Amino acid sequence: MQQYKRQLILPEFGPQGQAKLKQASVLVIGAGGLGCPVLLYLAAAGVGNIGIVDFDTVSVDNLHRQVLYSHQDIGKPKAEVAAQKLATLNPHIKISAILQRLDSHNALAIFKNYDLIVDGSDNFPTRYLINDAAVLSKKPLTYGAIYKYEGQVSVFNAHKADGTRSANYRDLFPTPPEKGSVPSCSEIGVIGVLPGIIGSLQANEVIKLITGIGDPLIEKLYTLDTLTLNSFTLKYNSLSSTNIKELIDYETFCDRKIPTKIETISAIDLETIIRGNENIKLIDVRQTIEHQYGNLPSINIPIGELVENLVAYNTDEKIILYCKTGSRSEKAIQIMLEHGYTNIAHLNGGLVEYIKHFNSDINIL
């Protein structure tokens, strides 16, 4: 009573709301930027049984946004560390660490033990997998996603008054984007407070669904821009074409790429070209701060600024692009091909591969 009294005295919530939380079981997939605030607030609120699915370990570049962890946790499994810290926050609930990569073989077995699912993932194959498993398991799903300074929240597959289920992720996003067209946080960056805000909103939706208070974001997508604090809510409906019958190979499903022959160049060949002073344009398509931290002798045009800067280059001269691992430079080639450039290649494996062969003094963010 003492631990929860600030929410117990809310007239709409009361002891009955607390009892519903105590009896509920919630599975949080991903103990990263979104998962950390979700887990913190669900544990603090008194959700009786919380499962944490995450196979990753804590790294130093997690710490600016994944607030459950500290420097002492680097290298340790996220799910285990999270479970231990949440247990000190609230010793009256059950917390289970599931150190597995969620896939089509284990998802349904894991989901069956929980009432409600929270998507804290950061990639499209996992999002579609979570959605489909939630639909097949008949479990409500609270969704969150972040990009740079913007975030989204919605509730999928929830019970409706007429006994049916609400729209799911595929109703809103029927097909995945072209592979590589949406950069990850590690490629494009993210402001640290954003996953905290969006994850907290996800936790709020979970509490609303469990206790029956308020108006959950069922068939509504809430979007927030943290730079301006402008927001809007998009309403959507179920698609009659959405028919999920089984779990599939989601990596293949999301591997949508425009079929184009892309020329790559090895680190060894690039070094030969550089030493031979051959006439090429070498372009780093990473963010400016990444380029300043460490680079090859090149000019820097971040991939997001590529189109507006292409007019400066002759379409006949050889252009070689590079990034950290080769994923952004491969996408950049697609952009340049669409604008008429043909004499282009990108560094296979990016700076990571180059450093393996030649220069360990180049710093990489």
Mark whether 185 is an active-site residue: yes
Maximal CA-CA distance, the chain: 77
Distance separating alpha carbons of residues 116 and 257, to the nearest angstrom: 33
pLDDT by residue (tens digit) across 152-170?
999 999 998 888 999 999 9
Q: What is the pLDDT of residue 205?
A: 98
Length of the chain (residues): 365
Q: 209-218, pLDDT tens digit by residue?
A: 999 999 999 9
Listed by start position, the domains of the chain span 5-253, 264-357
Active-site hit among 323, 333, 336, 351 = 323
The pLDDT value recorded for residue 184 is 67
Pairing assessment for the beta strands 220-225 and 230-235 based on DSSP bridges: antiparallel
CA-wise closest residue to 52 among 95, 103, 111, 102: 95
When computed from its CA atoms, the radius of gyration of the chain, rounded to whole angstroms, is 23
The answer to whether 326 touches 354, Cβ cutoff 8 Å, is no
pLDDT tens figures, 274-317: 888 777 889 999 999 999 999 998 899 998 888 777 655 665 67
- Would you identify the CATH topology of the domain 5-253? Rossmann fold (3.40.50)
Catalytic residue among 74, 99, 185, 335: 185
| In the predicted structure, residue 188 carries a pLDDT above the cut 80 | no
What is the C-alpha separation between 198 and 203, in angstroms, rounded? 9
The fraction of the chain above a pLDDT of 90, given in percent, is 66
Helix (H, G, I), strand (E, B) or coil at 335: helix
Question: In this structure, are residues 83 and 40 in contact, taking their beta carbons and an 8 Å threshold?
Answer: no
Average pLDDT of the residues in 358-363: 78
Cα–Cα nearest to 181, from 154, 147, 153: 147
116-to-23, 29, 129, 157, 234 alpha-carbon distances in Å: 12, 11, 15, 10, 23
Nearest C-alpha neighbor of 201 from the set 188, 186, 184, 214: 214
Q: Quick one: pLDDT at residue 83?
A: 98
Residue 136 pLDDT? 96
CATH number of 264-357: 3.40.250.10
pLDDT bracket for residue 240 (50, 70, 90)? low
CB-facing half-sphere around the CA of 173: CA atoms within 13 A: 16
Q: How far apart are CA 4 and CA 7, in angstroms?
A: 6
Average pLDDT, stretch 72-78?
97
Instruction: Please report, for residues 51, 71, 81, 106, the alpha-carbon distance to residue 98 in angstroms, rounded to integers and kept in the order given.
Output: 7, 22, 12, 11
Range from 30-34, 184-188, 300-304 carrying the lowest mean pLDDT: 184-188
pLDDT at 72: 97
Question: Which residues 6+ apart lie within 8 Å of 188 measured at CB?
Answer: 147, 148, 287, 304
Helices and strands (H, E) in the chain, number of each type? 15, 13
Distance CA 5, CA 189 (A): 39
- Cα–Cα distance for residue pair 30/24, rounded to 1 Å: 19
Selected residue with higher pLDDT from 306 and 183 = 306
Residue 253 confidence class, pLDDT cut points 50, 70, 90: confident
Q: Nearest CA to 141 among 38, 66, 233?
A: 38
Q: What is the mean pLDDT of the chain?
A: 90
Out of 95-104, 133-142, 176-185, 351-360, which region has the weakest mean confidence (pLDDT)?
176-185
